[in-house]
């Protein structure tokens, strides 16, 4: 089988991952009209259901999943049984997922510097330097993605930088182990992760790769851009035209991120967020809530520059320690939140990408000046 990532065993722990694990209702691209089961966890076990060993040998969810894949996708049963019998149940994955579960928390009464602490994880001199190197190495692909999808290089670079430090932190968990554990032994999200495992195994079959070899995040996110399998299915593209879609290839990842943003409503050339003066008293903060500009003005917030044709915006509040910054969140900012539903994440993507852009421009200027002597 073709190997996408022969060196992934050497990759360090993932430190930043947006799992893109929102539920999806998308159906498989290989639907069969004779399907008898509607879910990987539904239906009766067939007489042929069996696993010869491994951590999931007696797991009925795993056995039903195999029947489902054979019924719906005509997947080779012996191949599935081999892969799943060699998959490992990872207690560490369940523990990490439990930490992601929402828990009640009391909000502090005043600013504590939460945004500054988050920001400094990503926007550092070394990280910007590495981002410049990535941009310069892949400038042609970034420019082509901009021309094709309308998404500027700094946004693509920002996403890949926050997600994987431009390929330096891709994750070391075997994806089959992670997805099998969450599909078969994590009831809280089993339906969702069973669909992700389904799509992951279809990808392995279509791309002729060994499902045991692929590594990524503990939640199943893959490659430079940390797509979940469902995002791979919907948005990943063969951007280097080699006949394969490989998210561990930076060029395919660049094109796939750009395609994701285009499909989620990115408006080429439009602003992302505008700094505000004052504050919006009585209004809810966050990208989920949008208000007419007149309502924001009446609440005490004014933009520091023109909002262009925008007639409504969300109010973004960033805790900078001594006080709060207030921003008008526009439609392109909302599009960034489709990648990860966090104001901090989306602002870090934008500001990191912008910092790298300015550093690239300074480097290009210095190179042109030096060439004149």
Contacts of 80 (CB under 8 A, 6+ apart): 66, 69, 70, 201
* Together in a domain, 93 and 201: yes
| pLDDT score recorded for residue 50 | 67
Cβ atoms of residues 182 and 93 within 8 Å? yes
Q: Rounded to an integer, what distance in angstroms lies between the CA atom of residue 25 and that of residue 163?
A: 25
| pLDDT score recorded for residue 17 | 46
| pLDDT score recorded for residue 105 | 59
| pLDDT score recorded for residue 32 | 32
| pLDDT score recorded for residue 365 | 82
Cβ atoms of residues 200 and 21 within 8 Å? no
Give residue-wise pLDDT tens across range 16-27. 344 444 333 333
> Which residue segment(s) compose the domain that 74 sits in?
8-23+54-98+168-259
Is 361 tagged catalytic? no
Let me know if residue 246 belongs to a domain. Answer: yes
Question: Element (H or E) spanning 100, and its range?
Answer: helix 91-100
CATH of the domain at 235: 1.10.8.350
Let me know if residue 149 belongs to a domain. Answer: no
Strand order in the sheet with 273-278: 286-292, 312-319, 324-329, 273-278, 301-303
Kindly give the confidence (pLDDT) of every residue in the chain, 373 residues in length, as a single tens digit, with 9 standing for 90 and above.
444 443 333 333 333 344 444 333 333 333 333 333 456 766 666 655 567 789 999 899 999 999 999 999 999 999 999 999 999 999 999 999 998 866 655 666 789 999 999 999 999 999 999 999 999 999 999 999 999 999 999 999 999 999 999 999 999 999 999 999 999 999 999 999 999 999 999 999 999 999 999 999 999 999 999 999 999 999 999 999 999 999 999 999 999 999 999 999 999 999 999 999 999 999 999 999 999 999 999 999 999 999 999 999 999 999 999 999 999 999 999 999 999 999 999 999 999 999 999 999 998 887 665 655 6
Let me know if residue 206 belongs to a domain. Answer: yes
Q: Rounded to an integer, what distance in angstroms lies between the CA atom of residue 19 and that of residue 128?
A: 24
Domain boundary among 208, 236, 259: 259
* Together in a domain, 204 and 75: yes
Give pTM, 2 decimals. 0.86
Number of domain units in the chain: 2
| pLDDT score recorded for residue 18 | 44
* Together in a domain, 72 and 172: yes
* Together in a domain, 12 and 80: yes
CB-count exposure of residue 110 (10 Å: 0-12, 13-18, 19+)? exposed
Domain boundary among 234, 259, 284: 259
Let me know if residue 284 belongs to a domain. Answer: yes
| pLDDT score recorded for residue 93 | 96
Cβ atoms of residues 138 and 152 within 8 Å? no
* Together in a domain, 173 and 322: no
| pLDDT score recorded for residue 16 | 34
Give residue-wise pLDDT tens across range 285-314. 999 999 999 999 999 999 999 999 999 999
* Together in a domain, 226 and 302: no
Catalytic residue among 81, 163, 196, 251: 163
* Together in a domain, 67 and 187: yes
Q: Look up residue 46 and give its DSSP letter.
A: P
Domain boundary among 309, 329, 349: 329
* Together in a domain, 232 and 86: yes
Let me know if residue 336 belongs to a domain. Answer: no
Q: Rounded to an integer, what distance in angstroms lies between the CA atom of residue 31 and that of residue 280?
A: 49
Cβ atoms of residues 70 and 40 within 8 Å? no
Q: And the tokens for 250?
A: 């930076």
* Together in a domain, 189 and 65: yes
First to last CA, the chain: 53
| pLDDT score recorded for residue 220 | 97
Q: And the tokens for 266?
A: 């990115």
| pLDDT score recorded for residue 34 | 33
Cβ atoms of residues 156 and 166 within 8 Å? no
* Together in a domain, 227 and 296: no
Let me know if residue 296 belongs to a domain. Answer: yes
CA distances from 138 to 64, 135, 166, 240 (A): 44, 5, 11, 12
* Together in a domain, 292 and 220: no
| pLDDT score recorded for residue 36 | 34
| Of 220, 234, 261, the residue nearest 87 (C-alpha) | 220
* Together in a domain, 59 and 187: yes
Let me know if residue 41 belongs to a domain. Answer: no
Let me know if residue 223 belongs to a domain. Answer: yes
């Amino acid at each position: 089988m073709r190997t996408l990532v022969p060196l992934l065993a050497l990759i360090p722990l993932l430190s930043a991952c947006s799992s893109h694990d929102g539920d999806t209702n998308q159906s498989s691209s290989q639907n069969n009209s004779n399907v008898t089961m509607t879910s990987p966890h539904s239906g009766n076990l067939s007489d042929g259901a069996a696993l010869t060993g491994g951590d999931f040998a007696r797991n009925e969810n795993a056995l039903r999943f195999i029947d489902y894949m054979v019924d719906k996708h005509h997947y080779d049963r012996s191949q599935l049984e081999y892969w799943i019998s060699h998959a490992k149940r990872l207690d560490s994955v369940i523990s990490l997922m439990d930490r992601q579960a929402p828990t009640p928390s009391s909000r502090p009464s005043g600013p504590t510097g939460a945004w500054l602490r988050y920001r400094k994880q990503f926007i550092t001199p070394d990280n910007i330097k590495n981002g410049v190197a990535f941009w310069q190495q892949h400038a042609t692909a970034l420019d082509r993605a901009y021309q094709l999808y309308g998404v500027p290089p700094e946004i693509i670079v920002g996403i890949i930088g926050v997600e994987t430090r431009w390929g330096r932190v891709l994750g070391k968990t075997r994806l089959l182990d992670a997805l099998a554990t969450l599909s078969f032994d994590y009831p809280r999200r089993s339906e969702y992760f069973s669909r992700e495992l389904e799509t992951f195994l279809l990808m392995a079959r279509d791309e002729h790769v060994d499902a045991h070899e692929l590594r990524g995040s503990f939640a199943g996110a893959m490659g430079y851009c940390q797509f979940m399998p469902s995002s791979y299915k919907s948005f990943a593209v063969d951007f280097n035209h080699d006949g394969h879609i490989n998210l561990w290839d930076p060029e395919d990842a660049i094109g796939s991120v750009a395609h994701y943003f285009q499909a989620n409503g990115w408006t080429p050339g439009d602003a992302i967020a505008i700094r505000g003066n004052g504050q919006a008293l009585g209004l809810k903060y966050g990208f989920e809530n949008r208000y007419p500009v007149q309502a924001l003005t009446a609440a005490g917030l004014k933009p520091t520059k023109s909002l262009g044709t925008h007639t409504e915006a969300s109010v973004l509040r960033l805790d900078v320690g001594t006080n709060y910054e207030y921003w008008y969140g526009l439609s392109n900012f909302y599009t960034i939140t489709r990648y990860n539903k966090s104001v901090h994440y989306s602002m870090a993507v934008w500001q990191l990408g912008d910092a790298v852009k300015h550093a690239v421009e300074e480097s290009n200027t210095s190179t042109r000046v030096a060439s004149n002597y």
